[in-house]
Amino acid sequence: MPLPLILARSKTSVLPTKTLQVNGFVCKDPMAVNADDFFKAAKLDQPRDTTKSKVGSNVTLINVMQLPGLNTLGISLARIDYAPLGQNPPHTHPRATEILTVLEGTLYVGFVTSNQADRSNKLFAKVLNKGDVFVFPQGLIHFQFNPVHDKPTVALAALSSQNPGAITIANAVFGSKPPISDDVLAKAFQVQKGTIDWLQAQFWENNHY
Amino acid sequence: MPLPLILARSKTSVLPTKTLQVNGFVCKDPMAVNADDFFKAAKLDQPRDTTKSKVGSNVTLINVMQLPGLNTLGISLARIDYAPLGQNPPHTHPRATEILTVLEGTLYVGFVTSNQADRSNKLFAKVLNKGDVFVFPQGLIHFQFNPVHDKPTVALAALSSQNPGAITIANAVFGSKPPISDDVLAKAFQVQKGTIDWLQAQFWENNHY
Amino acid sequence: MPLPLILARSKTSVLPTKTLQVNGFVCKDPMAVNADDFFKAAKLDQPRDTTKSKVGSNVTLINVMQLPGLNTLGISLARIDYAPLGQNPPHTHPRATEILTVLEGTLYVGFVTSNQADRSNKLFAKVLNKGDVFVFPQGLIHFQFNPVHDKPTVALAALSSQNPGAITIANAVFGSKPPISDDVLAKAFQVQKGTIDWLQAQFWENNHY
Amino acid sequence: MPLPLILARSKTSVLPTKTLQVNGFVCKDPMAVNADDFFKAAKLDQPRDTTKSKVGSNVTLINVMQLPGLNTLGISLARIDYAPLGQNPPHTHPRATEILTVLEGTLYVGFVTSNQADRSNKLFAKVLNKGDVFVFPQGLIHFQFNPVHDKPTVALAALSSQNPGAITIANAVFGSKPPISDDVLAKAFQVQKGTIDWLQAQFWENNHY
Amino acid sequence: MPLPLILARSKTSVLPTKTLQVNGFVCKDPMAVNADDFFKAAKLDQPRDTTKSKVGSNVTLINVMQLPGLNTLGISLARIDYAPLGQNPPHTHPRATEILTVLEGTLYVGFVTSNQADRSNKLFAKVLNKGDVFVFPQGLIHFQFNPVHDKPTVALAALSSQNPGAITIANAVFGSKPPISDDVLAKAFQVQKGTIDWLQAQFWENNHY
Amino acid sequence: MPLPLILARSKTSVLPTKTLQVNGFVCKDPMAVNADDFFKAAKLDQPRDTTKSKVGSNVTLINVMQLPGLNTLGISLARIDYAPLGQNPPHTHPRATEILTVLEGTLYVGFVTSNQADRSNKLFAKVLNKGDVFVFPQGLIHFQFNPVHDKPTVALAALSSQNPGAITIANAVFGSKPPISDDVLAKAFQVQKGTIDWLQAQFWENNHY
């Protein structure tokens, strides 16, 4: 399901009926539907600007937010541009598996297995060249990194949901508003509280949604 | 589910236990799993040969048959090369929605709606240029065609299943073995039995699976 | 899901709230629900008129459109009357498997397997007599035909969805509005463009929804 | 899922590999599959003997146990013969909704709603005539009864699972082996322990599975 | 799905748009959502009064009705207090499996298997002590009973749905409004009609929803 | 699905047939199943030792690994003991929502929303007292912390899967084997490579699976 549906039996803070939502979106009159509802001039062939991104990437999503006709259809696309030495930092997609192929350049990718008796936290990583394919199973922490210092990389990814969701790990942990208690994080990450405080004072920008 | 599981209480024609299948595939020992099980050097950047195809296309699938690690993960990819004036002929994917983007060239695409009181059999079609995206909802008849006479087209598609299946309409209807009764087809298609017989005598080649 | 939910972030072409839909239907007040919401005097014992049908069949559906209480409940029924030599022409149900039994007469039935390396497009067909049962797996092209020249046939079918959908192959391919490009169809079906044009000029009537 | 899959990490009581099951059934070799795997000469047109049944009915199931090809396909059929004044006693199908039509005779049918603040335990009942249709939502207690003293009734039902399951209420409650404590049942049913003991001493025969 | 969605094509008895429902609940504006939507001061540590209950139990539910934030999230909790010799009488949860642990006291629990050729109506029962865990598979008839005459028992249960539903067997069968025909019940339960009439005249109180 | 099913078309590294798995477990012979397959003397009333845990908690899981009868049944339990000032560090459950209640003590809990245009990375946190309930939606990063310096806390949680999985964020990110490139992590977490190297040299112990 895309956004969690938050409910209330009381009538306070209820959405005005005009904007009542199904899967978070308003339905179009079926008689008015046409080919354009399944189309987007997404310019997925065009390079994106990665210079403004702290982490050196730019993610162009084509999911139900950009192409409403995708609702209920269970799939989405993304184009990812990586600056030289840029990355799509460690993140998860709570609601989808991702499959990725490199269109240009080189890409170091990986995911980490979940906690399992003998095989916890194993990193499965590969260096991908143009034309290679890699899979990131749903919900696992993964990342991509362009190891080349003088050429950008471009990848195309597909996700098994019209609204996969994204959790950027560093941002969620250290950039939440309000912040998570620094006692909790200091112990969880085995660092000083001061380190946590410093981290929480940084600016954490999401590179995608 | 990929292949229908065909069952029999009797023990005749039972798969020998060594080849017993889960979702049609044998499971690997979890302790032996590694990054290569999620990777494929698919060469999706390389042009494919469309000259041998009657319909002028070549489909390169990256689904669970090619990348076993995709099992249970609900997604797959395909690269489609279209010769000048080539097509991916009308077909359906019984088990997945498809989202497609054009990497090079031009592509005329469309799908036909199912039977609905006021809106049966409507064709939703678009001409796509490089970078555009289009969606083909699960189970609907759709096609793609390269309308340019002197340049190939290349598209990348993703499907919302690790084993979407494919039914090439003309092949299934006129190329089945054994053939469907020509009485049935003549009436269904409003043509002479002789026309059906002639069609059934042609060679029908699947361009993808 | 029955009809694809077509969405738009903008407020143009939005359904007026009075007709806002859930699964395409408006919910009844639970306090007003009664046994009649689960009942239909469907007259499934009565013969239907097959004389007006080009293909010689008449399909009586009992799905969520006819019996709204079926919404969310995942099942529907159909009675199919076949004139002598009549048929339910090749079609698919994108969202359901169908199980059928013959109440009267004889019926030649079959489905075609999808594209699979060694077993593409195999026709699985049987002649059914009164009391026999046959299964048409979801999404596969199938048909039924009454091979007897002087007696009608009657069948009862159940489908694993409250809104299975139906795609009548010949109609969708040759009867779409607007028509699919005759270049595409001529090559897909290995016939002359003129044949396609002639086919597209015929009247294609759906015998069921 | 049909039978609950009972697991054990230890190797005691493990199924010998030859009979290892998928969904409780052994898979047939796909290359050996044919039309007969989707067919059953079920004689659903033939009356069944209801004289041996205490409750005066006879249920002929066509589910995955009788037609193995139904596995994974989510649907099944049943023919039910009711003697004059016979019934299909109160029961549930834990895994399916049922839709029923009367082929011959008359049938008093109903289901009881579950516990809900204002609408608990409401009986939704109808008298059905030939050709009528009624729906029993999944998991709810329902029954059918032939109110006519001198004619049998015949119904055809479809269920939204290849293995819907059945729980005959009286049998499960009073006929379990070993018996449920008579203290529990006496209080639950507001009767004397002696009444429970007497009930538990009766013979409880399942009329279907 | 929680409540069955009852539909009507006509506009009579349609919910006024202000109270139009999704899964039976009105959505809250996402911008107004906060931690309290996922919180409940449920006092699950506090004993409940079992003296007013005929069956000697008190069930405190924490499902989507009490904690609206649970909608779509697939889980709920319940605290059950049992008086000495009190019970949670035989019932089913049509939409969920239940897992239960004893917090205080002793508890005799069990479920009955459904109709299966060789294993119908088997009672699987255990006496649980503090800290023990037991599982009641979805849809099966089960009960719990405190066998101790001078101490209460307390259990905590979780169910695999935000709205599992509950059917109290005795109440549904003998306490329905209107009553099920006593002809039907007399034969189903192998008792005299007079016994049925007497039962149907009793007061049947649901101890939970 | 519990463990990802890793597949290989080749026969190398294939599980010997005796240990072939369904959902990762071997099925027990249905005729040998009994009440003990649904029971566990889990001692959930007993305090656990939290002194050996770096993070000061001890998680006792009752999922399909501990209670095999839970397979396919979609639910599990956990008891969590927190030392004074102990925590269950930030983690996710890729496959389940969690609902938690405090049995003893006090607990500061929270989860962080995923990336959403206007509401990314919001912390929803509460301080829970005995008897309170809180919900952690599937896949979101969450934690619990006992803010009291001299008393332990005990909670009981239920999860909407028989095998929810767990990813301990700090461990997966900084404790993976082999380690994630320190270039990637330094940039993602906005710290020096040296800091990353130091973190990766620590010992990261999972407190649960």
Averaged pLDDT, C11-26: 45
- Going by pLDDT thresholds of 50, 70 and 90, the confidence category of residue B22 is low
Mean of the pLDDT values across residues E48-60? 96
Ranges A146-155, A170-179, C27-36, C187-196: which has the least confidence: C27-36
Q: Tell me whether residues D131 and C34 touch, CB distance under 8 A.
A: no
| Antiparallel, parallel or unpaired: β F133-136 and F87-92 | unpaired
What is the rounded distance in angstroms from the CA atom of residue C166 to the CA atom of residue C169? 9
- Which of F161, E16, D53, A75 shows the shortest CA–CA distance to B74? A75
* Apex D49 CA angle, D43 and D53, nearest 5: 130
Residue-wise pLDDT for F46-72, tens only, equals: 999 999 999 999 999 999 999 999 998
What pLDDT was estimated at residue F55?
Answer: 95
pLDDT tens, residue by residue, D109-148:
999 999 987 789 999 999 999 999 999 999 999 999 999 9
A165 phi-psi bin (left φ>0, alpha ψ -120 to 50, beta other): left
pLDDT of residue E22: 53
| Nearest neighbour of C28 by CB, restricted to E1, E7, E17 | E7
The binding site of E for Mn(2+) consists of 91, 93, 98, 142
Higher pLDDT, B65 or B10: B65
How sure is the predictor about F209, in pLDDT bands with cuts at 50, 70 and 90?
confident
Q: How far apart are CA F171 and CA A96, in angstroms?
A: 22
pLDDT the model gives residue D196: 94
Between D26, D65, D69, which is nearest B14 by CB?
A: D26
Chain F interface with D: residues with Cβ < 8 Å: 17-18, 20, 22-23, 25-30, 32-33, 37, 64-65, 68-69, 71-73
Averaged pLDDT of chain B: 88
Determine the 3-state secondary structure of B105 from DSSP.
coil
F204, A121: Cβ pair inside 8 Å?
yes
F10: confidence class by pLDDT, cuts 50, 70, 90: very low
Q: Name the residue among A7, D15, D135, B33 with its Cα closest to residue C67.
A: D135
Distance in Å, alpha carbon of C99 to nearest chain B alpha carbon: 15
Q: Does residue E196 sit within a domain?
A: no
What is the rounded CA–CA span in Å between residue A185 and residue A197?
10
- Out of C194-203, F90-99, F197-206, the most confident range is F90-99
Interface contact flag, E123 D177, Cβ < 8 Å: yes
The verdict on A82 and A157 lying in the same domain is: yes
Chain A CB contacts of E65 below 8 Å: 9
| Gap between the Cα atoms of E74 and F1, Å rounded | 16
Residue C140: list chain B partners with CB under 8 A.
94, 167
Compute the average pLDDT of residues F144-149. Answer: 98
Any domain includes D190: no
Closest residue by Cα to residue B39 from F179, F173, A142, A100: A100
Contacts of C20 in chain A (CB under 8 A): 17, 20, 27
In this predicted structure, the answer to whether residue A145 has a pLDDT above a threshold of 50 is yes
Q: Which of B34, B39, B97, B154 would you mutate first to test chain A, the one with the most A CBs within 10 A?
A: B39
Check whether residue A18 and residue A108 sit in a common domain.
no
pLDDT at C104: 98
Is the residue at A189 inside a domain? no
* In a shared domain, residues E29 and E63: no
Q: Is the domain of A27 the same as that of A97?
A: no
Considering chain E, what is the average pLDDT of its residues?
88
Smallest Cα distance from B39 to chain F, Å: 12
Contacts of E8 in chain C (CB under 8 A): 25-26, 28, 37, 68
The whole-number pLDDT of residue C20 equals 36
| Tens of pLDDT, residues B27-62 | 788 888 999 999 999 999 999 999 999 999 999 999
Are E106 and E137 members of one domain? Answer: yes
Q: F63 with F95, same domain? A: yes
Checking if the pLDDT of B5 tops 50, the result is no
Which has the closest alpha carbon to E79: E55, E108, E57, E52?
E57
Nearest CA in chain A to E17: A17
Residue E181 within a domain: no
pLDDT in tens, A52-107: 999 999 999 999 999 999 998 999 999 999 999 999 999 999 999 999 999 999 99
Assess if residue D49 is contained within a domain. Answer: no
Is C127 within a domain? Answer: yes
Element (H, E) at F109: strand F107-112
Give me the numbers of helices (H) and strands (E) for chain B, helices first please. Answer: 3, 11
Contact pairs from chain B to chain F, CB under 8 Å? 63
Q: Do E6 and C30 touch (CB under 8 A)?
A: yes
Q: Is the pLDDT of residue E17 over 70?
A: no
Helix, strand, or coil (residue B170): helix
Binding residues of F for Mn(2+): 91, 93, 98, 142
pLDDT level of residue B9 (50, 70, 90 thresholds): very low
Q: Are F144 and F156 in contact (CB under 8 A)?
A: no
Q: What's the confidence (pLDDT) of residue F187?
A: 93
pLDDT: which is higher, C29 or A173: A173
Q: In the complex, which subunits touch E with 3 or more CB pairs below 8 angstroms?
A: A, C, D, F
Q: Is A29 within 8 Å of C7 when comparing Cβ atoms?
A: no
Q: Cβ of C31: how many Cβ atoms within 10 Å?
A: 9
Name the residue among C175, C176, C173 with its Cα closest to residue C185: C173
This complex has an ipTM of: 0.89
Q: Does A125 sit within 8 Å of B35, measured CB to CB?
A: yes
- Of the three residues C163, C179, C194, the one that is the final residue of a domain is C163
Inter-chain touch C69–E4, beta carbons under 8 Å: yes
Q: Is residue E146 part of a domain?
A: yes
D67 and D148 fall within a common domain:
yes
Which residues partner with A156 through β-bridges? Answer: A79, A101
Q: Cα Rg for chain A, rounded, in angstroms? A: 19
Residue contact F92–A92, C-beta within 8 A: yes
Q: In which band, very low, low, confident or very high, does the pLDDT at C10 lie, cut at 50, 70 and 90?
A: very low
Rounded Cα gap, residues E129 and E153, in angstroms: 10
Q: Which residues of F touch A111 (CB under 8 A)?
A: none
A8 vs E17: CB contact, 8 Å cut-off? Answer: no
Q: pTM, whole model, 2 decimals?
A: 0.90
CA nearest to F61, candidates F138, F204, F161, F139: F161
The stretches of D27-74 forming alpha helices (DSSP H) are none
* A21 and A96 part of one domain: no
Q: What is the mean pLDDT of residues C107-120?
A: 91
Say whether both B103 and B69 belong to one domain.
yes
- Domain count within chain E: 2
- The DSSP line for E26-48 is PBBPGGG--GGGGEE---TTS--
**Which chain C residues are within 8 Å of D159, Cβ to Cβ?**
75
**Cβ F8–B23 below 8 Å, yes or no?**
no
What is the DSSP-derived secondary structure letter of residue B131? T
pLDDT at E31: 85
**Which residues from chain A sit within 8 angstroms of residue E26, using beta carbons?**
7-9, 11, 14-15
CATH of the domain at D99: 2.60.120.10
Residue D203 lies in a domain: no
**Is residue F7's pLDDT more than 70?**
no
F72 to D9: CB separation less than 8 angstroms, yes or no = no
What string of pLDDT tens digits covers the 209 residues of chain D?
Answer: 232 322 222 223 333 333 334 565 677 888 889 999 999 999 999 999 999 999 999 999 999 999 999 998 999 999 999 999 999 999 999 999 999 999 999 999 999 999 987 789 999 999 999 999 999 999 999 999 999 999 999 999 999 999 999 999 999 999 999 999 999 999 999 999 999 999 999 989 888 87
Say whether A4 and E68 touch across the interface (CB within 8 A): no
- Rounded Cα gap, residues F117 and F123, in angstroms: 15
Q: What is the percent of chain A with per-residue pLDDT over 90, rounded to a whole number? A: 78
3-state secondary structure C164-197: CCCEEHHHHHHCCECCCCHHHHHHHHCCCHHHHH
CA triplet F33, F34, F38: central angle to 5 degrees? Answer: 100
Domain containing B9 equals 5-36
For residues C108 and C143, membership in a common domain is answered with: yes
Same domain for F74 and F146 = yes
B180-197 mean pLDDT: 94
Query: Where among F140, F163, F186 does a domain terminate?
Result: F163
Q: How far is E21 from chain A (nearest CA, A)?
A: 10
Residue in F17, F18, F26 nearest the CB of D7? F26
Q: Verify cis geometry, omega within 30 degrees of 0, for the bond prior to D178.
A: yes
Chains that touch B (3 or more CB pairs under 8 A): A, C, D, F
* C62 vs D contacts (CB less than 8 Å): 99, 101, 133
State the Cα–Cα distance between residues D77 and D131, nearest whole angstrom: 17
Q: In what order do the strands lie in the sheet with D107-112?
A: D123-128, D107-112, D142-145, D87-92, D167-168
- Last residue of some domain: F147, F163, F179? F163
Chain F residues close to E44, C-beta within 8 Å: 101, 131-133
| Reduced 3-state DSSP string for chain A | CCCCCCECCCCCCECCHHHCCECCECEECHHHCCHHHHEECCCCCCCCCCCCCCCCEEEEEECCCCCHHHCCCCCEEEEEEECCCCEEEEEECCCCCEEEEEEECCEEEEEECCCCCCCCCEEEEEEECCCCEEEECCCCCEEEECCCCCCCEEEEEEECCCCCCCEEHHHHHHCCECCCCHHHHHHHHCCCHHHHHHHHHCCCCCCCC
**pLDDT at residue B103 greater than cutoff 90:** yes
Q: What is the pLDDT of residues C46-99, one digit of tens each?
A: 999 999 999 999 999 999 999 999 998 999 999 999 999 999 999 999 999 999
Backbone dihedral angles phi then psi of residue B69, each to the nearest 5 degrees: -60, -15
Question: Contacts of residue C6 in chain A, CB cutoff 8 Å?
Answer: 27-28, 30, 33, 37, 68-69, 71
φ/ψ of residue E61, rounded to 5: -95, 140
Contact D69 B4 (CB under 8 A): yes
Q: How many CB atoms within 10 Å of residue D46?
A: 11
Give pLDDT tens digits for F168-202: 999 999 999 999 999 999 999 999 999 999 999 99
> What are φ and ψ of residue C104, in 5° steps?
-145, 140
D171 sits in which H/E element: helix D169-174
H helix or E strand, kind and range, residue B189: helix B182-189
**Same-domain status, B141 and B109:** yes
Nearest to F32 among D5, D13, D17 (CB): D13
